[in-house]
Every structure is written in C-alpha cells, then in structure tokens.
C-alpha cells in the first residue's frame, strides 16, 4: 500500500506545531501500511539478516557532522520536512531502498511502477508527493522504497543528498541501499545500453570528487560497492532485451562544453579535439557521461552507504552530439534502469528467485 504522508506549507509551520493531529494522522497511516506489509516482514528480515537479532544489529545511517547533535531542531528546508514538525521515524523508518533520478515526473512514474512490482494494495493514483510544500524536489514513498528527484547537475544533487541522508539518519533507517537511475551519453556503446558504474570519475578522469570548503579543496573518494554492481549485472541477464555493462562513468559540470559537445552556444575546440578526449576517456574504461555520479558516489561512500549508479545511454558520443531518437524509443530506454533496479529490489525482498 502506498503512503500518503500529510505535509504543511512552511508558512504554517508554527500553527502545525501547535496542532498534533497531523502527527497522529501520520502515525495512523504508518500503522495501516505496516499491517499491509506484515506479510513482507519475514522477507525484509531475510534481506537484512536471518532473524530479528540480526536485523537489530544492522548499522543505522550515520552523518559526518558533530554539530547536528547540538541542534534543537533540524529543518530539511528543501524537502519541506523537519525533526520537530514531522515524526520522521514513523514516516520513513522502514525504508530499505532509495531510488533517485533527475526528473520529478520520472520518479513519480517509478514510484507507480514499483508499487505494481511489489504487488502492494491500494490505488497507484493515491501516491502523493511528500515534498509538495516545496517546488525543489519531489518524493514518493511506496512500502520500503523511497523515490526522489534530484534535479540536474552536481549542486542540485548535493543539496538533495545532504537532506536525504539526514532524513534517513533522523528516521533511524537501517541497512539502506541507494540507487541513482537516469540517462547518459554513451562512449563507444549503442543507444539503449545500461551502464552500471564501476567508478565515477571527474573531467580529468580521476576517481574523485573535489568539494571547495571554506576556500580549501576537499577531495573525496568516489568508490561504489562492487558487489552491488555485480549483482545488478547478474540481474540484467534475467531481463530480455536489456543490454548492460559495468564501466566507469564520467561526471561533468556541464552538458555542452564540459562533455565535449560541438553544438552548444559556445565551442572553442575542433571535432578532432573532441574525439581525442573521448577516446582517452574510453581507454581508461569510461563508457558513459552524465552530471551527478561523482557527488552521489562520494557522499554515499563518506557516510558508509551502499550505493550504485545505473544509467542508460541515449546515444553514442563517438557518432554525434544531438539526441534525435524517436520519443517512444526514448521512453523505453529510460525505463530500462527502472526495470533493473526493480528486479534487484524484488530479489532482495524474496518476491522472486
């Protein structure tokens, strides 16, 4: 069953604090969903451990900020949530899988899709945007799965991830897996190929993410869980017409010049320069290009979260820069990462072999 979590506009926050009926409603909805998911409880335990004691021993989601402990309240501003205004453990404590993607519409579609895939009761039309009080991101909860948009590019992804990781921490979630699902430009691959990221590399082809903090450059590793990548690749072999590879993903700060495109408003290089750069990337294992993977991998790795990046290629950048694939074909391509992640989730929950 999907959960429709009540929300309030930020301007009414003080009124909402004095009226605890919304919290009571959230608790009742959570309890109702919990009863629906009771049949899935043994499955969830099997996914995280062999019995209840194993489940309890699972690590909670940790943040790397000592200042949070001294804060009376933590307002997750861009998600329109907060530790005083919402009962986060009741609303989100059962989350096991988080799927993030750029487009709000795509993540709503994924929430509806995973609702069907998990065989949950209730009307898919009842799935509501938990972050509807803000226009920055969209978030949908379906059973143990959270689907949330992250916008386009590193800055937008970074803001969302800070608040998402804090949300998982405040909700006391355990044993959570994060997936980024999206689209990308292929490097030496046919359109429609799903790339499961081995390493996220920057524009200098280094497996690292550089964050400027107080005028100093902080370098963080972009290591992803290799076992999870192999598990996803294995799942891909069980899905017809879903070509998949494990390869490195290059993350850039721009769609045009940063990715060596010749069709932007600005271009200071030749076709030969572009192809030389792309071949250099290919030679170090890069198989696709997008704009969020380094910060996603770095923040998940730093916080000890198991994570994977799964993106479908929309074109082969050796052959061109513009995306001219027919719309209906594009839609089918965009669903491929969703099919793959759904299969892994259902296997982890014991719903399929």
As annotated, the binding site includes: 136, 180-183, 259, 261
Q: Under DSSP, is residue 245 helix (H, G, I), strand (E, B) or coil?
A: strand
- Token pair recorded at residue 292: 């969020």
C-alpha–C-alpha distance, residues 71 and 145, integer Å? 28
Helix or strand holding residue 290 (H, E): strand 286-290
Annotated binding site for phosphate: 136, 180-183
At 343, give phi and psi (nearest 5°): -65, -45
Count the alpha carbons within 13 Å of 114 in the hemisphere toward its beta carbon. 29
Residue 341 burial (CB count, 10 A): 25
* CA triple 134-82-212, angle to 5 deg: 75
If DSSP codes are grouped into helix, strand and coil, which group holds residue 125?
helix
Q: To which residue do tokens 């897996």 refer?
A: 177
Pick the closest to residue 161 from 293, 257, 269, 14 (CA basis).
293
Task: Write b or e for each residue in 112-145: b if 16 or more Cβ atoms lie within 10 A of its Cβ, otherwise e.
Answer: bbbbebbebebeeeebbbbbebbebbbbbbbbbb
Neighbours of 38 (CB within 10 A): 9
Task: Using the CB atoms, write b or e for 147-156: b if 16+ within 10 Å.
Answer: bbbbbebbeb
Residues in the annotated binding site for substrate: 259, 261
Please tell me what DSSP assigns to residue 161: H
């Amino acid at each position: 069953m999907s959960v429709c979590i009540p929300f309030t506009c930020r301007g009414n926050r003080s009124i909402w604090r004095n009226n605890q009926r919304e919290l009571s409603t959230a608790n009742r909805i959570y309890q109702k969903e919990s009863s629906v998911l009771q049949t899935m409880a043994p499955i969830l335990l099997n996914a995280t451990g062999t019995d209840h004691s194993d489940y309890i021993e699972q690590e909670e989601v940790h943040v790397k900020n000592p200042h949070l402990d001294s804060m009376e309240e933590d307002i997750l501003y861009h998600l329109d949530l907060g530790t005083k205004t919402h009962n986060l453990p009741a609303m989100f404590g059962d989350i096991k899988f988080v799927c993030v993607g750029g487009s709000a519409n795509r993540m709503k579609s994924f929430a509806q899709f995973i609702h069907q895939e998990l065989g949950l009761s209730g009307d898919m039309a009842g799935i509501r945007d938990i972050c509807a009080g803000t226009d920055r991101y969209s978030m949908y909860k379906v059973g143990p799965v959270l689907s949330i948009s992250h916008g386009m590019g590193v800055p937008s992804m970074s803001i969302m991830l800070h608040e998402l990781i804090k949300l998982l921490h405040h909700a006391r979630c355990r044993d959570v897996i994060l997936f980024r699902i999206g689209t990308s430009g292929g490097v030496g691959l046919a359109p429609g190929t799903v790339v499961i990221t081995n390493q996220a590399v920057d524009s200098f082809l280094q497996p690292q993410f550089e964050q400027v903090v107080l005028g100093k450059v902080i370098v963080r590793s972009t290591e992803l869980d290799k076992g999870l990548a192999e598990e996803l690749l294995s799942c891909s072999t069980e899905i017809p017409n879903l070509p998949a590879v494990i390869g490195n993903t290059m993350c850039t700060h721009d769609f045009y010049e940063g990715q060596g495109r010749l069709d932007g408003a600005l271009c200071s290089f030749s076709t030969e320069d572009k192809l030389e750069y792309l071949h250099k990337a290919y030679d170090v294992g890069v198989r696709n290009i997008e704009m969020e993977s380094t910060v996603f991998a770095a923040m998940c790795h730093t916080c000890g979260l198991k994570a994977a990046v799964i993106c479908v290629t929309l074109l082969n950048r050796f052959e061109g820069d513009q995306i001219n694939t027919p719309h209906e074909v594009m839609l089918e391509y965009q669903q491929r990462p969703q099919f793959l992640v759904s299969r892994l989730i259902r296997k982890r929950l014991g719903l399929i072999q």
